[in-house]
Amino acid sequence: MPILSVSGASFFARLAAAIAGLAAIAGLSTCTGAPRELPPCLASPGFGSTKDPAFARVVAAGDIADCTTNKHFETAALVGVLAPDAVFALGDLAYPNGTLSEFLDCYDPAWGKFRSITRPAVGNHEYHTAHAGPYYAYFCGTSGEPFGGFYSFELGAWHVVSLNSNCGSDLGVPAEVATEFGGCDKDSPQAKWLADDLAKHPSPCTAAIWHHPVFNSGKHGGSDVMRDLWKILEDAGADLVLAGHAHDYERLAPVVLPGTRNEQKGIRQFVIGTGGRGLATFSDIDPNSEVRQAETHGVVEFKLYADKYEWNYVSTTPGFTDRGETPCH
């Protein structure tokens, strides 16, 4: 059997030639074809108004598209039936890495039909891809300034802020991410923007959405890095925080920092990580946890009235329900 051989004298010349040849081959992998086509950025001029003048109907969930299980198609069907005025997508929207193909080929076929009314928050899995680029591209600027991830909008009588909570040390998220958008501490650009935004938009009812919950009985525990922003919301009289990250559903009592139940001034937080990704059980139960489950996927329907909010957990399988209402501060 013939095998390779070379004279030692010409070795380095041949090595250089071989590397040049490999470099020529290199073009094989540097181009991957034409750019993917993003869905058109549909204008949503009516966003903010509501079908029913009495309330805004919102559907919220996070931790959504996992094309190994396709559970997100079931939750998307619930959203379609509920026909909301807005969808709050609470981060970790396309698993496992928030890549362009995961957004276009996995998230979009299910939840994409609500994209023009979706107001997202950026999760840690989005940052598995550099700068969460596909997330910002897919949502056409509805997710705030490119690479920023915090913004606000009006919905019915409510003012809603979406914040970037990627200030921790999630596996797979570069440490530089928090620096890139300014971080989450009280002196950060995001904190200054939030305080300014809340001052400019006084509202009897205010909600905030982000990915990492401050209080959490599920996997990962609470995210302390968001406490400074929570305090700003608390001081401004905010009512409601919606988060994901933990793959379960949990409703907590209204609390003020550091975690004291307070029906008058406290903010009620929901963890709604039941959008499609595999569910995970609870670990250390937060003392203010009122209701929790990790048995069934689902979404939460909120009715945001001018002076109160109602919630209703809608499950993909019959069984678990959670309904209630709380007045705004």
Asked if residue 136 binds another protein (CB under 8 A), the reply is yes
Distances in whole angstroms, Cα of residue 96 to Cα of each of 88, 128, 238, 262, 278: 20, 8, 32, 37, 12
Asked if residue 280 binds another protein (CB under 8 A), the reply is no
Binding test (CB under 8 A) with another protein, winner from 50, 75, 99, 152:
99
Nearer to another protein, 20 or 199 (CB): 20
Which stretch in 74-82, 97-105, 258-266, 277-285 sits in contact with another protein by CB under 8 A?
97-105
Asked if residue 68 binds another protein (CB under 8 A), the reply is no
φ/ψ (deg, to 5) at 293? -160, 150
Asked if residue 131 binds another protein (CB under 8 A), the reply is yes
Q: How far is the CB of 247 from another protein (least distance, A)?
A: 17
Q: Work out the burial of residue 161: count CB atoms within 10 Å of its CB; fewer than 13 is exposed, 13-18 middle, 19 or more buried.
A: buried
Using CB under 8 A as the binding criterion, the count of chain residues that bind another protein stands at 59
Nearer to another protein, 135 or 249 (CB): 135
Q: How far is the CB of 11 from another protein (least distance, A)?
A: 4
Spatial strand order in the sheet of 206-209: 151-155, 158-162, 206-209, 240-243, 268-272, 249-252, 289-293
Closest among 293, 298, 292, 294 to 316, alpha carbons compared: 298
Q: Work out the burial of residue 102: count CB atoms within 10 Å of its CB; fewer than 13 is exposed, 13-18 middle, 19 or more buried.
A: buried
Binding test (CB under 8 A) with another protein, winner from 105, 108, 154, 180:
180
Q: Are 38 and 138 in contact (CB under 8 A)?
A: yes
Asked if residue 199 binds another protein (CB under 8 A), the reply is no
Residues 31-60, interacting with another protein (CB under 8 A): 31-33, 35-41
Nearer to another protein, 41 or 82 (CB): 41
Residues 145-164, interacting with another protein (CB under 8 A): 146-147
Separation between Cα atoms, residue 268 and residue 252, nearest integer Å: 6
Beta bridge partners of 83: none
Separation between Cα atoms, residue 68 and residue 72, nearest integer Å: 10
Asked if residue 120 binds another protein (CB under 8 A), the reply is no
Binding test (CB under 8 A) with another protein, winner from 48, 80, 112, 174:
174
Nearer to another protein, 96 or 259 (CB): 96
Nearer to another protein, 168 or 254 (CB): 168
φ/ψ (deg, to 5) at 57? -95, 120
Separation between Cα atoms, residue 294 and residue 247, nearest integer Å: 7
Q: How far is the CB of 294 from another protein (least distance, A)?
A: 22
* Interface positions with another protein (CB under 8 A): 1-8, 11, 14-15, 17-33, 35-41, 96-100, 102, 104, 128-131, 133-134, 136-137, 140-141, 146-147, 171-172, 174, 176, 180
